[in-house]
C-alpha cells in the first residue's frame, strides 16, 4: 500500500514538473518577443485587411455576416451606453445590477469598432469611444458578489479588443481618455479577475486567462502577459481530454482532484474520448465559453509571436471535432453524458477552424459541416461575430 501511494505521489510530482516546464517555456517564449504588436488583441492589421478584402470581393459568407451585424441593435448609431459605478452580479446574474448593461455595452463597443475597422465609417469609431468613455468615467467600485471574477473576465475579454482597434486605427480617442481607460482596466477589472478561485470550472479559468492576456497587451504589461500565457498550457491539458492522458483526465495542479472527486468535477462523465471537455456534461454553452477562450488566446498569442496553436493542436482539434460531431448527429451515445446533451456551441469555432484548416490545411470535416449549417453566427460575450472576423480569411494555399 505504501509503495502504491508513493508511486502515485511521484507520478503527480512528475506531471506537475512537466506542466511547470511547459508553462515556463510558453512564458519565456513570450518574454523574448520584445514590444507588443498593435493592434494585437485577437485582430491585427492583416486580419482586418483580410476581412476588408472579403467585403470588397463580395464574399457571400462575409456579406451575410456583415448584414447580420449591421441589423443588430448593438450596431445602431443611436445606441446609448448604461454605465454603472459598481457592477453587482450573483450566480446566473441574480442579482443583475449592471451585469447585462455592462455586457451589452462591451459588445456594442466592439461591434462599432469592427464596423469602423471594416467600413471606415468614422461614426462607428466615435460611438465605440462614447461607450468606452462612459464606463471609464463611471465605474469606480469594480465588480461585486459571487460572479464578480467571471463578469469582469467576460467584459475584459472584449474591452481591450475594442480599445486596440480604436487606439491604433483611428484618431477618434484622446490620449487622456485612453489613459483613463487603461486605469479602469487595471483597477476595476484586473483585481477581480486575479482574485478568481483556483477551483472554478473550465469556462471561468479560460475566460480569466484571455482577459488577463488582453489587458496586458493594451496596457503594455509584459510581465502580466507572460504570466497569463504561462497558465494556458496546463489549463488546456486539464480541461480538454486526450487518450494520452490516461484512462481519466489529468487534474490541474492548482486544484488537484482524484477518483470520484475528479468525476464530479467532470459532471459525472466516466468514459472519456478525445476532445471531451470538463463542462461537456454540464451544457454546451458553458463548454463554448471555455473552448472559445482557449482558442482566442491562441489567436492573440499568434499575433504576438507566441505559438500556442502548435502545442495545443491535438486537444483543440479533437475538442472541435468531438463536439461538432455530437451536434451534427441526431442521437447522442449513451456513454456521453448519459445520452443527453444540453445547449449548443453556436457562435464559436470559426477562429480555430480558420487557423487549423485555412492556414495549415488540416481537415476538420465535422467542424466544417457544423459551421456551414450555422453561418453567419453572432455568438455571445467573448465569441462575438466570429463569422465576420475569421470565416474564410486565411491566405490562399
Beta-carbon contacts of 332 under 8 Å, excluding residues fewer than 6 positions away, are 326, 339, 340, 341
Residue 395 lies in a domain: no
Q: What is the pLDDT of residues 218-262, one digit of tens each?
A: 999 999 999 999 999 999 999 999 999 999 999 988 899 999 999
With cut-offs at 50, 70 and 90, classify the pLDDT of residue 396: low
Render pLDDT for 105-124 as a digit per residue (tens, 0 to 9): 999 999 999 999 999 999 99
Give tens-digit pLDDT for 262-295: 999 999 999 999 999 999 999 999 999 999 999 9
Q: Is residue 123 included in any domain, yes or no? A: yes
Range of the domain at 49: 2-390
Whether 18 has a pLDDT exceeding 80, the answer reads no
pLDDT band at 395 (very low <50, low <70, confident <90, very high): confident
- In whole angstroms, what is the distance from residue 388 CA to residue 68 CA? 9
Strands, E, within the chain: which ranges? Answer: 87-89, 96-97, 143-144, 379-380, 383-384
The answer to the question of residue 396 being in a domain is no
CB contact set of 292 (below 8 Å; sequence gap of 6+): 347, 348, 349, 351, 379, 382, 383
Specify the pLDDT at position 254: 87
Distance CA(226)–CA(31), nearest Å, equals 6
Q: For the chain, what percent of residues have pLDDT higher than 90?
A: 88
In total, how many domains does the chain have? Answer: 1
Q: Which of 288, 215, 222 is nearest to 42 (CA)?
A: 215
19 pLDDT higher than 50: no
Q: Is residue 397 domain-resident?
A: no
pLDDT of 73 = 97
Q: Is the pLDDT of residue 128 over 80?
A: yes
- Segment 180-203 shows an average pLDDT of 96
pLDDT value at residue 354: 98
Between 43 and 92, the higher pLDDT residue: 43
**315 with 276: CB under 8 angstroms?**
no
Q: How many CB atoms lie within 10 A of CB 189?
A: 25
Residues belonging to the chain = 397
Q: Which residues contact 373 (CB under 8 A, 6 or more apart)?
A: 328
pLDDT band at 92 (very low <50, low <70, confident <90, very high): confident
Lowest-confidence pick of 18-22, 67-71, 299-303: 18-22
- Can you give the pLDDT at residue 205? 97
Which CATH number covers residue 21?
1.50.10.100
Question: Is 305 within the bounds of a domain?
Answer: yes
Within 13 Å and on the Cβ side, how many CA atoms surround 80? 1
Please provide the distance, in angstroms rounded to a whole number, between the alpha carbons at the two ends of the chain: 57
Amino acid at each position: 500500500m505504501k509503495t502504491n501511494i508513493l508511486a502515485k505521489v511521484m507520478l503527480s510530482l512528475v506531471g506537475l514538473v512537466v506542466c511547470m516546464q511547459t508553462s515556463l517555456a510558453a512564458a519565456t517564449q513570450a518574454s523574448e518577443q520584445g514590444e507588443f504588436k498593435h493592434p494585437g488583441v485577437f485582430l491585427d492589421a492583416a486580419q482586418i485587411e483580410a476581412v476588408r478584402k472579403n467585403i470588397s470581393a463580395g464574399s457571400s459568407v462575409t456579406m451575410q455576416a456583415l448584414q447580420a451585424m449591421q441589423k443588430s441593435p448593438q450596431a445602431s448609431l443611436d445606441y446609448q451606453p448604461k454605465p454603472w459605478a459598481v457592477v453587482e452580479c450573483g450566480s446566473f446574474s441574480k442579482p443583475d445590477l449592471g451585469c447585462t448593461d455592462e455586457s451589452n455595452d462591451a459588445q456594442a463597443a466592439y461591434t462599432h469598432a469592427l464596423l469602423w475597422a471594416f467600413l471606415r465609417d468614422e461614426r462607428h469609431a466615435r460611438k465605440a469611444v462614447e461607450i468606452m468613455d462612459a464606463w471609464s468615467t463611471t465605474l469606480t467600485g469594480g465588480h461585486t458578489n459571487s460572479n464578480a471574477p467571471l463578469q469582469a473576465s467576460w467584459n475584459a475579454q472584449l474591452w481591450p479588443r475594442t480599445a486596440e482597434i480604436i487606439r491604433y486605427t483611428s484618431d477618434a480617442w484622446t490620449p487622456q481618455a485612453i489613459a483613463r481607460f487603461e486605469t479602469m482596466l487595471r483597477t476595476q477589472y484586473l483585481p477581480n479577475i486575479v482574485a478568481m478561485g483556483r477551483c472554478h470550472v473550465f469556462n471561468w479559468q479560460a475566460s480569466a486567462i484571455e482577459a488577463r492576456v488582453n489587458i496586458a497587451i493594451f496596457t503594455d504589461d509584459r510581465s502580466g502577459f507572460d504570466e497569463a500565457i504561462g497558465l494556458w498550457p496546463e489549463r488546456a491539458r486539464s480541461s480538454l481530454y486526450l487518450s494520452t492522458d490516461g484512462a481519466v483526465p489529468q487534474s490541474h495542479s492548482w486544484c488537484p482532484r482524484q477518483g470520484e472527486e475528479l468525476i464530479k468535477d467532470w459532471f459525472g462523465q466516466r468514459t472519456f474520448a478525445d476532445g471531451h471537455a470538463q463542462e461537456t456534461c454540464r451544457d454546451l454553452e458553458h463548454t463554448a465559453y471555455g473552448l472559445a477562450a482557449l482558442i482566442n488566446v491562441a489567436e492573440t498569442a499568434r499575433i504576438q509571436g507566441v505559438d500556442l496553436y502548435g502545442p495545443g493542436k491535438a486537444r483543440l482539434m479533437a475538442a472541435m471535432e468531438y463536439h461538432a460531431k455530437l451536434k451534427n448527429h441526431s442521437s447522442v451515445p449513451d456513454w456521453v453524458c448519459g445520452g443527453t446533451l444540453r445547449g449548443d456551441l453556436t457562435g464559436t469555432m470559426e477562429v480555430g477552424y480558420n487557423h487549423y484548416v485555412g492556414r495549415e490545411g488540416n481537415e476538420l470535416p465535422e467542424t466544417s459541416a457544423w459551421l456551414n449549417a450555422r453561418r453567419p453566427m453572432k455568438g455571445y460575450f467573448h465569441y462575438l461575430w466570429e463569422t465576420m472576423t475569421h470565416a474564410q480569411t486565411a491566405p490562399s494555399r
